[in-house]
Amino acid sequence: MAKKSNKMVYVVAMLLFLGGLGYLVVSGLTQDSVYFLNVSEALATDKADLGQARLFGKVSPTNLDIAEGKLGASFDLVDKVNAGQHIRVVYKGALPDTFKESVEVIVEGVFDHDAGVFNARTLVTKCPSKYKEQSEEMERSKG
Amino acid sequence: MHLTGYIGLLFGLLASLFLAAWAAIAAWTERYEGLVLVERGQLAAAGGVVLSSLILLVALTSRDYSFMYVADNVDNALTFVYTLTAFWGGREGSLLFWELLIALSGAVFVFSPGYKSLAPRTKLYFWTIFLTIQGFFLLLLTSWSNPFIEVVPPRTDGRGLNPLLRNPGMIFHPPLLFLGFAGYTIPAACALAAFIAGEKKSWIAVTRNWNVLSWMFLTAGILLGCWWSYMELGWGGYWAWDPVENASLIPWFAGTAVLHTCIIESRRGALQRSNVFLMSLTFLLCIFSTYLTRSGVIDSLHTFGESGVSFPLFMCMVVGLAVTLVVVFMSERHVTRALSEFLSRQGLLVAAAWFLLALGLVVAMGTMWPVISKLWSPRPLGLDAHFYNRVCLPFMAVLVFFFCLCPWLGWKGGIRNMKGFILSCAAFAISFGAFYATGMTRFWPAFGAASAVGAMTSIVLLFAFYPAMRSLRRNWGAYGIHLGVALVALGIAFSGPYKVEREFVLKKGEVASIEEYQVKYLDLVEDSTPELRARATATLEVSRDGSVLGYLAPDKRIYVNFERQQFAEVSTIFSLGDEIYATLLGLTEDDGASFKLSINPLVNWLWIGGTIMSLFPLLLLRRIARPGEKGDA
């Protein structure tokens, strides 16, 4: 009998645990999910559907304005595959060391539909943990 | 040499596959004399892998640019230490390094007393599984990820290592993770083999040291990754909930859960099936971790080159999980024991395992959400750091809270020391009130920090109330690790939500204020070294209430081989309270400079606690008794 009552307590505890976990996960999924989009995907999306988003792309070599002292930049974020597609990004804040033209960046923020720009709250350049970008950098430096 | 290196791996592959099949047939037909061949064969296979690894190492140190791998990861200007670390710095080399550790683990395990104490049938099943895993890695290395590709004609200089990777973090972080990943191969294969063969000897006892060491290496690797990110990469912190960071955390949660549930099996004989499943799952999650980092399935901050290994890794996970489920559910039923009541030490250990597994599941699900959401959404949906903080923070806080209570409960139930229980709870309650009163008004961080204080009080009181505990090394090990966890929790609870960050543009002599600190920009010095084409170092004086606390010297540098890019080195004023952290962002035309300054409260307790967590497992290692010898295994 003792074993049975133990089992019941474990079942109840497990249900409570799963209930708490489920509640937190569902509330997190409904409130904290954002679109993860490449530039081409963002451009193909109905602007009314786009609020908060995380965009992946490259910094265009043209139209790159970096604030003096590296506190902010506005630039064209171009699609990694289709270089013809771009979105204007405005970011106010410290730029990472590796921020420069043609580098891959991830920006998170909201679209300002009236101004036609993406106001980035965060801007992160990809960590060159590995090899391809670094190789291109070396080729250019030595070239 | 390229061919010799490749043949070493090919030999290892063929030997592993042949021996795995041989071991399986021998186990099936119960002809145990075949075991000797398998054991010697593993030594030979490991020899092939060692030979190949030595060839790559020699090629790296002699900068033999006829090896594509060397040309891609080393250059003439690179210092010797980073030339060595290039072994695990590149895609193919890191996989070879992992395989080398697996092969050496197998070779060492053959001679260990724990292995010798196993029944021959278990040993044969162990080799069947282990050699299949080893063969899989060698298949990757001989086909999709070959480190011995030749460049004709050879280059005169290589592409070198990115300056962000020239950091002590690069020397220790990746190999420690690989040591952890590779180490889990032995307990996972042993658990499955023991379950299939109905082994009398406890696989938990036999592989205890492997399990503890693997966890220790994984913990240390993750911690060093955090420190590296904090000091070098300028992402504004030690954890960004990035897919590549999460990748190593997921197996860590499973590995930590299994360490706890193994205690229950060792002491009470319960959870036998669960432990085999969790042990195998931990290993499979190490494979999942590699899959996440190398498949490019999720966009990450890290630029890991995509490679052909993603599909084989995915298949390895699927097949491995299927085999595990078949073994766990189809094998002969083992002794089952009921658990004690829930409010017992055993009950809370089970709950702790649930929490850890839930955290692993949440992190895995959150990381994979852009892929999962594609099932119903035309555009991928991802989860940002808020999601992880919302879900993980309460779970981590409650997990630490368990440690205020757990040591005072009896194994079967009831409170074994009411005084200790009340004092620990009081420490929790008082500190919670104190944190709240001093402005730490966010519930879960305050709860987590108070739980950490309660847990530390618990540990101190335990050693005070039970003098006999002090004489046992394993108590120091186990409680030391939990003390480290409490310190880490304290560090995260303060430095995460209460970090203050500001950016300033200052001219020489100007003062900026951040919180109660005043920062004065004193000077800028420019110089160069053989490695650095140019370096600008700013000097900042930090004071509070008129008294000088110290000086910061953040710099901005341009490396010789990377002239188009500037890199910053941060500077900190160490403190066990508020650490002041400065980055030089850039120089302005009118003799000014821009800085990013932050106050990171109690952040150093994270590193101190993490170091304790990474060292105290050494006290848990035990000598395993040889067959016929009396011991504590």
Tens of pLDDT, residue by residue over B407-450, are 999 888 888 899 999 999 999 999 999 999 999 999 999 999 99
What does DSSP assign to residue B569? E
Residue that wins the pLDDT comparison between B423 and B164: B423
Those of residues 25-64 in A touching chain B at CB distance below 8 A are 25, 27-29, 31-37, 41, 45, 54, 56
Residue A134 has pLDDT above 50, yes or no: no
**Confidence label for B299 from pLDDT (cuts 50, 70 and 90):** low
Integer Cα distance of B508 and B591 in angstroms: 8
- Rounded to an integer, the average pLDDT of B561-573 is 80
Looking at residue B605, its pLDDT comes to 96
* Residue A63 falls in which region: left (phi positive, over 0), alpha (psi -120 to 50) or beta: left
CA dihedral B15, B17, B23, B25 (to 10 degrees): -130
Integer Cα distance of A4 and A22 in angstroms: 26
Residues B316, B253, B455: CA angle, nearest 5 degrees: 170
Nearest by CB to A104, from B75, B303, B379: name it: B303
Integer Cα distance of A77 and A89 in angstroms: 7
Residue of B nearest to A140 (CA): B564
Q: Which amino acid is at B132?
A: T
Check CB contact of A104 with chain B, cutoff 8 Å: yes
Encoded tokens for A9: 């307590």
Looking at residue A132, its pLDDT comes to 41
Check CB contact of B339 with chain A, cutoff 8 Å: yes
Q: What are the phi and psi torsion angles at B626 (to 5°)?
A: -75, 160
Residue B270 has pLDDT above 60, yes or no: yes
Encoded tokens for A100: 């420069």
> CA of A133 to nearest chain B CA: how many angstroms apart?
8
CA atoms within 13 Å, Cβ hemisphere of B29? 10
Integer Cα distance of B364 and B356 in angstroms: 12
> What DSSP letter does each residue of B602-619 carry, written as one string?
THHHHHHHHHHHHHGGGG
Residue A127 has pLDDT above 70, yes or no: no
Contact criterion met (CB < 8 Å) for A32 and B387: yes
Residue B161 has pLDDT above 80, yes or no: no
Give me the residue label for tokens 């991802």: B382
Which of these ranges, A4-13, B183-192, B354-363, has the smallest mean pLDDT? A4-13
> How many helices (H) and strands (E) are present in chain B, helices listed first?
20, 11
Which three-class secondary structure string do you get for B426-453? HHHHHHHHHHHHCCCCCHHHHHHHHHHH
Those of residues 8-27 in A touching chain B at CB distance below 8 A are 9-10, 13-14, 17, 20-21, 24-25, 27
Check CB contact of B49 with chain A, cutoff 8 Å: no
Size of interface A-B (CB pairs under 8 A): 181
How many Cβ atoms from other residues are within 10 Å of residue A41's Cβ? 18
CA dihedral B36, B42, B44, B45 (to 10 degrees): 150
Which of these ranges, A43-47, B190-194, B436-440, has the smallest mean pLDDT? A43-47
> What DSSP letter does each residue of B306-369 carry, written as one string?
P-TTHHHHHHHHHHHHHHHHHHHHHSPP--------SSSHHHHHHHHHHHHHHHHHHHHHHHHH
**Confidence label for A97 from pLDDT (cuts 50, 70 and 90):** confident
Integer Cα distance of B401 and B404 in angstroms: 5
What does DSSP assign to residue B186? H
Looking at residue B632, its pLDDT comes to 42
Contact criterion met (CB < 8 Å) for A24 and B391: yes
Check CB contact of B92 with chain A, cutoff 8 Å: no
Q: Which amino acid is at B99?
A: E
Looking at residue A42, its pLDDT comes to 85
Looking at residue B251, its pLDDT comes to 97
Q: Please, which residues bridge with residue A57 across strands? A: A105
Give me the residue label for tokens 């200790």: B420
Contact criterion met (CB < 8 Å) for B585 and A132: no
How many Cβ atoms from other residues are within 10 Å of residue B317's Cβ? 17
Integer Cα distance of B123 and B39 in angstroms: 9
Residue B233 has pLDDT above 70, yes or no: no
Residue of B nearest to A50 (CA): B379
| Contact of B193 with B103, CB cutoff 8 Å | no
Tens digit of each residue's pLDDT (9 = 90 or more) over B44-81: 999 999 999 999 999 999 999 999 999 888 888 788 88
CA atoms within 13 Å, Cβ hemisphere of A36? 20
Looking at residue B336, its pLDDT comes to 66
Contact criterion met (CB < 8 Å) for A69 and B592: yes
Cis preceding linkage at B601, omega within 30: no
Residue A105 has pLDDT above 70, yes or no: yes
Looking at residue A133, its pLDDT comes to 42
Contact criterion met (CB < 8 Å) for B341 and A9: yes
**Chain B environment of A72 (Cβ under 8 Å):** none
- Residue A102 CB partners (closer than 8 Å, separation 6+): A58, A59, A60, A61
Integer Cα distance of B354 and B261 in angstroms: 10
Residue that wins the pLDDT comparison between B171 and B256: B256
Looking at residue B334, its pLDDT comes to 60
Integer Cα distance of B605 and B494 in angstroms: 10
Looking at residue B182, its pLDDT comes to 95
Those of residues 171-230 in B touching chain A at CB distance below 8 A are none
| Contact of B440 with B492, CB cutoff 8 Å | no
| Contact of A94 with A64, CB cutoff 8 Å | no
Looking at residue B633, its pLDDT comes to 37
Residue B212 has pLDDT above 60, yes or no: yes
| Contact of A106 with A126, CB cutoff 8 Å | yes
Which of A32, A35, A46, A91 is the best residue to mutate to test the B interface, defined by the most B CB atoms within 10 Å of its own CB? A32
State ipTM: 0.76
Encoded tokens for B57: 């190492």
Looking at residue B91, its pLDDT comes to 82
**Confidence label for B300 from pLDDT (cuts 50, 70 and 90):** low
Residue that wins the pLDDT comparison between B472 and B91: B472
Integer Cα distance of B168 and B511 in angstroms: 33
Residue that wins the pLDDT comparison between A95 and B127: B127
Residue that wins the pLDDT comparison between B397 and B565: B397
Residues B161, B165, B168: CA angle, nearest 5 degrees: 125
Tens digit of each residue's pLDDT (9 = 90 or more) over B496-530: 889 998 989 999 999 999 999 999 999 999 998 88
**Chain A environment of B383 (Cβ under 8 Å):** 28-29, 32-34
Angle at which helix B473-495 crosses helix B603-615, to 10 degrees, equals 160
Nearest by CB to A45, from B244, B304, B379: name it: B379
Nearest by CB to B503, from A94, A139, A141: name it: A94
Average of per-residue pLDDT values in chain B = 89
Contact criterion met (CB < 8 Å) for A28 and B387: yes
Residue B630 has pLDDT above 60, yes or no: no
Angle at which helix B603-615 crosses helix B208-228, to 10 degrees, equals 160
Q: Please, which residues bridge with residue A71 across strands? A: A94
Q: Is B153 helix (H, G, I), strand (E, B) or coil?
A: coil
CA-based nearest residue to B208, from B520, B627, B625, B506: B625
How many Cβ atoms from other residues are within 10 Å of residue B119's Cβ? 16
* Residue B235 falls in which region: left (phi positive, over 0), alpha (psi -120 to 50) or beta: alpha
**Which H/E stretch holds residue B210?**
helix B208-228
Looking at residue A141, its pLDDT comes to 43
Encoded tokens for A103: 């580098």
Tens digit of each residue's pLDDT (9 = 90 or more) over A8-36: 888 888 888 888 888 888 888 888 888 88
- Residue B527 CB partners (closer than 8 Å, separation 6+): B535, B537
Give me the residue label for tokens 């630039």: A75
**Which H/E stretch holds residue B558?**
strand B555-559
Contact criterion met (CB < 8 Å) for A25 and B505: no
- Rounded to an integer, the average pLDDT of B193-214 is 92
**Confidence label for A1 from pLDDT (cuts 50, 70 and 90):** very low
CB crowding B561-584: b at 16 or more within 10 Å, else e: bbeebbbbbbbbbebeebbbbbbb
Cβ-based burial of B16 (10 A; exposed 0-12, middle 13-18, buried ≥19): buried
Integer Cα distance of B381 and B391 in angstroms: 17
Check CB contact of B631 with chain A, cutoff 8 Å: no
Percent residues over pLDDT 90 in chain B: 61
Nearest by CB to B301, from A36, A95, A106: name it: A106
